[in-house]
Structure 1
Amino acid sequence: MRSTGPALVVVVAVGVLVATGVTLLLERSLSRILLGVILLGNGVNLLILLGGRAGSAPLVGTTPIDRMSDALPQAMVLTAVVITFGLTAFLLAIAYRSWYLSGDDEVQDDLEDRQIVRLAERNEVSTADLGGEGPDGDPEQVDPGPALRRLRRRGDDE
């Protein structure tokens, strides 16, 4: 007896790839987020391929129409591979830049995010940022500490 559905091993592989990818996406390290995007993309691509009908090459005149494979999932996966590659290159550039500036690739909490959470807990509305306080007095500016420490380390080596 011939089975018409996908093999159980392939379905389990899709589940493992997607679950591992989502788990890695929830981490704070950009390198793990990058791996999570890659695994999630591969799992979804495999899932899209499982949705198509298996069969011979979809070339008119070479096989009967009822035995042809569905070409749409293949085209969608090809497009998804290109999109995943572009997103991977972008995340790799962000991770490298973060490592270059701060020495690690961990995503830090934003001061503004913490302030919004505190205001939400007290059920208050945030005030508008009118600016004009200068770079030293603005708590919303990025902390230059890690980058300065890295530059000082380079200066000591030379």
Structure 2
Amino acid sequence: MTVDLALIIGMVVLYAAGIYQLLERSFTRMIFGFMLVGNATNLLIFITAGMPGLAPLRTEGAAPEDYTDPLPQAFILTAIVITFATTSFMLALLYRSWRLARVDTVADDHEDIALRTVDPEADDEVFEPDDSGDTEFGPEFEASLGDDDLDDEMVVRT
């Protein structure tokens, strides 16, 4: 099986440009990047489909290996539908964002900014032996788990 080098180069360029666009702060560029990645995925499925063969509708008595596999074609159609649906949803989000705030960029909220300034060493919990019986669910959860709650009918057979 030989693969056309131009298709592989085109797929790589589409993936690279799409991922570059997805990393931008503009929502419109993110949508374009998502569309490029979707088309690159369709091209990847097309490349991996193998050599073209006869249409499955021909009934001239050809050998089964002479026919084209219809599964990659079904995958591409499914990928097209998923990409279209997700793109239309993202366009609706962009329209709503533009109508409400007149902005196209994705801004950091206060939690994102706070996570950038957290010192990872200062956030570590120190284990204290006095708190070893405490759980986050409270004392009523600890009291409900006892040896009498275990099933007596469960027997280990050897």
Both structures adopt the same fold (TM-score exceeding 0.5): yes
2:20 alignment counterpart: 23
Query: For residues 78 and 120 of structure 1, what CA distance do their matches in structure 2 show?
Result: 48
Structure 1: runs of 5+ lacking an equivalent: 126-158
TM-score scaled by structure 1?
0.71
How many residue pairs get aligned? The number is 122
Is 45-54 or 22-31 further displaced after alignment?
A: 45-54
Question: Is 1:48 aligned to residue 80 of structure 2?
Answer: no
- 1:58 is paired with a residue of what secondary structure? coil
Question: Is 1:81 aligned to residue 68 of structure 2?
Answer: no
2:154 alignment counterpart: none
Is 32-41 or 112-121 further displaced after alignment?
A: 112-121
1:61 alignment counterpart: 59
In structure 1, give the amino acid aligned to 2:86: L
What is the CA deviation profile of residues 102-138 of structure 1, one whole-angstrom value per residue up to 9, with x for unaligned ones?
212100011111112222445327xxxxxxxxxxxxx
2:29 alignment counterpart: 32
CA 122–102 in structure 1, closer or farther in 2 if over 3 Å, else same? farther
Equivalent in 2, 6, 20 of residue 5 of structure 1: 2
Note the C-alpha offset of 1:7.
Answer: 0.7
Note the C-alpha offset of 1:90.
Answer: 0.8
Structure 2: runs of 5+ lacking an equivalent: 125-158
Query: For residues 115 and 49 of structure 2, what CA distance do their matches in structure 1 show?
Result: 46
2:142 alignment counterpart: none
